[in-house]
Amino acid sequence: DAGVIQSPRHEVTEMGQEVTLRCKPISGHDYLFWYRQTMMRGLELLIYFNNNVPIDDSGMPEDRFSAKMPNASFSTLKIQPSEPRDSAVYFCASSFGRYSAKNIQYFGAGTRLSVL
């Protein structure tokens, strides 16, 4: 398997523009997680899905952020409108089997977002 695939790897945009980050989880995984990483706040969980259904979005900073998972092999994280303080590295991760007790999350390489 190719692992978790994120695109784009880098995104530079201007304040006010819409940004869409994409993620393809590992085939067969039923959990998908979106994280944000900054120097100040470290690794923060934004939202996660189980079987394509959002389970916990309490980490989403505000209404400008939205995430969707239309099918088992694709998810998006959208920021509209973007602001300079959204600049960070955004990671997608996937895992298999809540009841397998393994719960190992596999991370993508991340999208580095810069909002000017």
Partner 1 sequence: GQQLNQSPQSMFIQEGEDVSMNCTSSSIFNTWLWYKQDPGEGPVLLIALYKAGELTSNGRLTAQFGITRKDSFLNISASIPSDVGIYFCAGQLTSNTGKLIFGQGTTLQVKP
The reply to whether 85 sits near partner 1 by the rule CB under 8 A is no
Q: What is the rounded CA–CA span in Å between residue 60 and residue 45? A: 8
Q: Give me 27's structure tokens.
A: 């085939």
Residue from 75, 82, 94, 95 binding partner 1 (CB under 8 A) = 95
Q: What are the strands of the beta sheet with 74-79, ordered from one edge?
A: 5-7, 19-24, 74-79, 65-71
Least Å distance, CB 103 to partner 1, is: 5
The reply to whether 4 sits near partner 1 by the rule CB under 8 A is yes
Q: What is the rounded CA–CA span in Å between residue 113 and residue 116? A: 10
| 3-class secondary structure, 25 | coil
The reply to whether 56 sits near partner 1 by the rule CB under 8 A is yes
Site for partner 1 in 9-38 (CB under 8 A): 31, 33
Under 8 Å between Cβ of 113 and 102: no
Residue from 20, 50, 52, 73 binding partner 1 (CB under 8 A) = 50
**Residues at the site binding partner 1, with contacts judged by CB under 8 A:** 4, 31, 33, 42-43, 45, 48, 50, 55-56, 91, 93, 95, 98-99, 101-110
